[in-house]
Structure 1
Amino acid sequence: MRCTTLRLTGLLAALSALTATTSAHAGMGLAVLPGLQGDGPVTVFYPTPDADQPVQRGPFTVQLAPQAAPARGNGRLVVVSHGSGGNPWVHTDLARALVRAGFVVAMPEHQGDNARNAADAGPVSWKRRPQEVSRAIDAVAAAPQLAPLLQLDKVGVAGQSAGGHTALSLAGGAWSPARFLAHCEAHIADDFNACVGTYTLLTGGMLDGAKKTVALGVLRQRFDDAEPVRHYDPRIAVAVAGVPAAADFDLETLRQPRIPLGLVTAGRDVWLTPRWHSEAVAAACTPCTRIAHLPEACHSVLLSPAPPMEVLGRTERHLLADPPGFDRAVLPALDERIVAFLAQHLVPASAAPQ
């Protein structure tokens, strides 16, 4: 069976099917739980009967109900894994769509790879991230106001970029730092920022050769471990990987994922060149569902609201700026596709929120 492509133009049928599971709750509650075992905080969004109010978080004004009483939804949790240098606020539109459908949403802050500290971005963080997702579930399970409203035997995970790498790991994929190094040695010119992140760009100038040489020298010192990295959590029952970092995976381990796996891909991703990342997974994973492919979108397709360009550095602006002509008006429909995919595998019809 080929990877199933669901076009955004065909959304009406899926949205109609989702109507039965849409929550009528008034607002989106916000709580911040302490992380376990030294982890960063876990930000949680949930259905509440209380009304939202404007809440300022960094450059974002978000409609939320902080510390509001939670309401019973569909009984299921989705953990969202942010990308490198990320935070919860760039995924609040997806969180709102999930909360409307009755989900509770938890977003762990990934240690050493978040908006406050990105020193461990890359394979160092990738090893920790799936464990941080598991401990985020444990943190929600220990929250007295939330735990009684949830069944945690089946949990969903969704992630963007490095968070997509997390989702692939939790779906059963195995990777290694040595595979990451081998990819960069073979494709440093064509996939430069997948290997070096936001430190610098290739510009076509006379310094490009030196940049590639220095980058490979650093990578060879840090990433030679060939031991496959895996993480298994039996509670994870479905995963969504959006524009995932994936060139370091053994694709044989993703041909038949252990759980349903959905993909979101972008045709103009200049941070993670699709042919070695998202498209490689889509070609290998025959039972996967391609939730959506947006040919004119770039790497920031799942950042909604998008970070203001003026708060980003030069390299980040280049890697994340929407291409000319891309219309973000399609993103709410994309969020609903993701919600529908997760609900299909987590929520029986009898569990629709009231």
Structure 2
Amino acid sequence: MPASNSFMASAPRTISILVFCLLFFAIPREADASYDLPYGPGVTELTVVDARADRPLSGTVWYPTSTPEKFQRADKSKVWQMADADPDGSAASGSFPLLVVSHGMYGNTLNQAWLGSALARHGFVVAMVDHPGTSTFLRDADQARELWERPVDLSRLITFLLERSALADRIDRSRIFAAGHSLGGYTVLLLAGAEFDTGLYESLCARDGTNVVCPVLKGWSVAETDADRHEMELSRMDRRVRKVVSMDLGGTPVFSPKSLGQVRTPVLVLGSGRADMLDQDLESRMLASLLPRTVMQHVELADAGHFDFMGVCKPEGFAILKEHEPGDEIVCLKGGTEREAQHQRILAEILGFLGAQ
């Protein structure tokens, strides 16, 4: 589905592996001495080991190192500027909050690598996995239909990190958070206690089949059998998650308003003021109006677009995509210095909400 038509798209549909380059083949560069932060951005590959052989999960985990001056930047992509990273660097001593991140529709763990790198420098462990069925390289119609598995992926990730990972003793179990972009925002709201409403979904799509929610979920055959409707409506709340960050989510119209009104987990609702992909009145603004005021913070970022929650594009990125993947160049609209400025605002809001180390 072209990015320009998808309400939850967080990555173009067919950008090549050359564009979504490998993170760990890094080229050393001189560190900026003015980048005065307490930790370096360690990063390593991650594979969740548990009993779910039917749904393998892999991705990356970012973590603080004790060498803030040591980092590298991969430079294998013609479109994207890769995040600063110290691949497999030694983890700093201490106990750090954990943030699990959910990518958007047909996205991947590289989409929010910039956020993982930045938060690691501020003393956070940040873990991400590619959701089977709805990620860039793991597209599968049957797995996409099982949309209820997305929040379960994050709960499995948390359990693995706490019980079996090399970073288990570095994680502050009282400070476990979740963040998601686009469809990832929908995903992490489920962890906070939001619930899918089949009746609302069906009536919405019968009344207005052009609503951006409908073609996506209908295309995936979501909630079309009794068994699937049951799974979709089950609560996927994870009480270990203490705060949630929604980054320009897509999917608010299919949440049960009653369940949103009963959410007790604090939620930061970040919306894109430029509204280049989503109708904010039907998404972040609606979500903010339905959540209890006592647990909700709503920030609409002026002149931010849907794709500003993704990485920074190189100056030539827009032209390359326009030539080779017409329609997908939207992901690089204002994607350079303007996006870097938006990243600073997004980072500041998230740090303020989660509590900076």
- The TM-score, its normalising length taken from structure 1, stands at 0.75
CA deviation map 1:36-64 (0-9, x unaligned):
32422031000112411223575543321
Partner AA of 2:297 in structure 1: R
1:66: which partner in 2?
Answer: 87
CA deviations over 1:87-119 (Å, ceiling 9, x no partner):
122212222231122110000111111111333
Query: For residue 133 of structure 1, what is the aligned residue in structure 2?
Result: 154
Matched, 1:327 2:338: yes
Q: Does 1:110 align with 2:131?
A: yes
For residues 73-112 of structure 1, the aligned pairs below 5 Å read 73-112=94-133
- Give a deviation string over 1:205-249, Cα, whole Å, max 9, x none: xxxxxxxxxx96985994775542321222111101111122110
Residue 151 of structure 1 aligns to a residue whose secondary structure is strand
Q: What's the counterpart of residue 339 of structure 1?
A: 351
Does 1:44 find its partner at 2:55?
Answer: no
d(CA) in 2 for partners of 1:78 and 1:217?
A: 31
Distance 1:165 1:144, change over 3 A: closer
Within the alignment, does 1:300 sit opposite 2:307 as a pair? Answer: yes
SS at match of 1:45: strand
State the Cα deviation string for residues 309-340 of structure 1 (Å, max 9, x = none). 4458445445x453799932232122121122
SS, match of residue 236 in structure 1: coil
Q: In the superposition, relative to structure 1, how do residues 235 and 276 fare at CA in structure 2: closer, same or farther (>3 Å)?
A: same
Once residues 218 and 99 of structure 2 are traced to their aligned partners in structure 1, the CA distance between those partners, rounded to angstroms, is: 37
1:64 alignment partner, SS class: strand
Contact 1:185 1:216 survives alignment (8 Å): no
Q: Indicate the residue corresponding to 1:187 in structure 2.
A: 208
- Residue by residue over 1:276-331, the C-alpha shift from the partner in whole angstroms, topping out at 9 and shown as x without a partner, is 2211111111234335202433221311335944458445445x453799932232
Cα distance in 1 between the residues matched to 2:241 and 2:47: 21
Question: Within 2, Cα distance between the matches of 1:77 and 1:127?
Answer: 23
State the shift of 1:156 in Å: 0.3
Letter in 2 for 1:260: P
- Partner secondary structure for residue 327 of structure 1: helix
- Letter of the aligned partner of 1:195 in structure 2? C
Alpha-carbon separation, structure 2, partners of 1:95 and 1:324: 18
More helix by share: 1
Q: Give the 3 Å change call, closer, same or farther, for CA 280–325 of structure 1 in structure 2.
A: farther
Matched with 2:16 is: none
Question: What does residue 235 of structure 2 align with?
Answer: 230
* Gap runs ≥5 in structure 2: 1-35
Match of 2:266 in 1: 260
Shifted more, 132-141 versus 271-280: the winner is 271-280
Return the alpha-carbon distance in structure 2 between the equivalents of residues 217 and 141 of structure 1.
Answer: 36
**Given the superposition, is the C-alpha separation of residues 101 and 149 from structure 1 closer, same or farther in structure 2, using an over 3 Å criterion?**
same
**Contact conserved, 1:84 with 1:118, CA < 8 A, in 2?**
no
Match of 2:38, SS?
coil
One of 177, 198, 209 as aligned partner of 1:156: 177
Q: Is the 8 A contact 2:244 2:268 kept in 1?
A: yes
> 1 CA distance for matches of 2:110 and 2:242?
25
Please tell me whether the aligned partners of residues 81 and 313 of structure 2 are also in contact (alpha carbons under 8 angstroms).
no
SS of residue matched to 1:88: coil
Tell me, what secondary structure is at the counterpart of 2:333? Answer: coil
Contact 1:158 1:239 in 2 (8 A): yes
Q: Which has the higher contact order (CA 8 A, sep 6+)?
A: 1
- The 1:53–1:129 alpha-carbon spacing in structure 2 relative to 1, beyond 3 Å, is same
Give the equivalent residue in structure 2 for 1:34. Answer: 47
CA–CA distance in structure 2, aligned partners of residues 120 and 271 of structure 1? 23
What RMSD over aligned residues (CA atoms) do the two structures have, in Å? 3.2
Matches of 1:33 and 1:175 in 2, distance apart?
Answer: 30
- Indicate how the Cα distance of structure 1 residues 106 and 257 shifts in structure 2: closer, same or farther if over 3 A, else same: same
In structure 2, the partner of 1:4 is none
After superposition, the C-alpha distances for 1:127-185 in whole angstroms (9 at most, x for unaligned) are: 11111001111222244531111122431000011110011111110114553343233
Give the partner amino acid of 1:141: L
Match of 1:272 among 266, 275, 278: 278
Separation in 1, partners of 2:234, 2:144 = 10
How far apart are the structure 2 equivalents of 1:252 and 1:159?
22
Could you say what secondary structure the match of 2:254 adopts? coil
Which of 279, 290, 300 pairs up with 2:297? 290
Number of equivalenced pairs:
303
Aligned AA (2:277): W
